Amino acid sequence: MDKTFLCFKIQSYSPFSKRFNIKWCWPRRCFLRRNQKWVRYGIKPQKHDIFKPYKRRKDIQYAVKNNILYTTADSFDELIKIKELAPQMKILWRISIPEDNSKQLATEFSNKFGDDIISLEDAKYKFKYMAKELGVNIHGIHFHCGSGKNGSTSFQKAVQMARKCIQIGRQYGHSMEILDLGGGYPAGDLNQETIDALQVTKNDSLGYQVVAEPGRHFSQNTCYLFTRILAKRVKQGRICYHLNDSLYHSFNCILMDGVSFENENNQFYKCVDNSTQEQFDIQETKSLKDPYLE
């Protein structure tokens, strides 16, 4: 039976994480020192993954010491470093997929992470070089198009390229046993293009294990956020509410995911200031539904 492993960031909310079958979770290891948290949930270290394609040497050494076997890379230099420090680690090669509509994503990862594979010939050269020259076995393909409330417009293209890389990699002796579909999925319904792309990976004749990171898709609509109002005043003709939260915490989605609190209800010219002293740390200025706080 095929298994789809769900990835969680290490700071995932514990009650939500516990709701899932812990045998089917693959926590993304951004902060290795918190490894024990997931062990308490029953997730074996062998199913932990150092998510970042660039890692400190001591992080790799920590991973080896704690039997964390999986990691990602997107450069030859990183492969050489991993081979030197931890040749037993299983590496997923991260590829970069440019977004068709960059305005849809608040955070486009192709500008920062991933190997820019410009053609199939380029892929053949790189996987041959990794196998023959570097002596590194690649165990799978990883991509993450980026983060946005409506998802990516390039997800289908990313899946197609990832499958081709798996086929090419195997031609040069790479194991290619895992396909990591990344995250950035919308909170609501998936569009048909994404559904069609996911369907391709189900019982794929290529044969690989599927990993995905649908944190927002599963969790965003499961909770309500309550925040304390510390003060209320009038400034420059606006009613201002000062909260004990900020863009660095619960409202980070405004910056990172392009989330807006605009709605079709009656709007009142108000200002919600968050708790930090940053000038830009203002949640909204006039897009608030009447909150019955007058």
DSSP category for residue 58: H
Cα–Cα nearest to 118, from 144, 91, 94, 95: 95
Segment 188-209 shows an average pLDDT of: 89
Domain residue ranges in the chain:
4-221, 229-289
Question: How would residue 43 be classed by pLDDT, with cut points 50, 70 and 90?
Answer: low
By mean pLDDT, which of 170-184, 199-213, 237-251 is the weakest? 237-251
24 pLDDT tier (thresholds 50, 70, 90):
very low
d(CA 62, CA 163): 32
Q: How far is CA 237 from CA 233, 270, 283, 286, in A?
A: 10, 9, 17, 12
How many helical (H) and strand (E) elements, i.e. helices and strands, does the chain have? 9, 16
**Cα torsion at 235, 237, 243, 245 (round to 10°)?**
-100
Please give the pLDDT value at position 74: 94
Rounded Cα distance between 284 and 271, Å, is 6
What is the per-residue pLDDT for 179?
95
What is the spatial distance between Cα 252 and Cα 249, in angstroms, rounded to a whole number? 6
Backbone angles phi, psi at 15, to 5 degrees: -60, -40
Q: Is the pLDDT of residue 270 over 70?
A: no
Per-residue pLDDT tens for 116-132? 998 999 999 999 999 99
Residue 231 tokens read as 């003060």
Specify the pTM: 0.75
Percent of the chain with pLDDT over 90: 30
Q: Which residue has the higher pLDDT, 221 or 96?
A: 96
Name which CATH class applies to 4-221: alpha beta
Q: What pLDDT score was predicted for residue 200?
A: 93
Above 60 in pLDDT, residue 16?
Answer: no
pLDDT value at residue 235: 78
Structure tokens at 84: 């030197």
Domain range 229-289, CATH class: mainly beta
Q: How far does CA 176 lie from the centroid of its chain?
A: 21
Query: What would the mean pLDDT of 57-73 be, rounded to a whole number?
Result: 86
- 202 burial via Cβ count (<10 Å: 0-12, 13-18, 19+): exposed
Tell which residue, 24, 11, 16, 1, has the closest CA to residue 211: 24
- Nearest in space to 75 (alpha carbons), one of 26, 31, 136: 136
Question: Alpha-carbon distance 109 to 209, whole Å?
Answer: 23
Contact predicate 89/60, CB 8 Å = yes
pLDDT in tens, 244-256: 888 888 887 777 7
The secondary element (H helix, E strand) that includes residue 241 is strand 238-243
Distance CA 23, CA 38 (A): 11
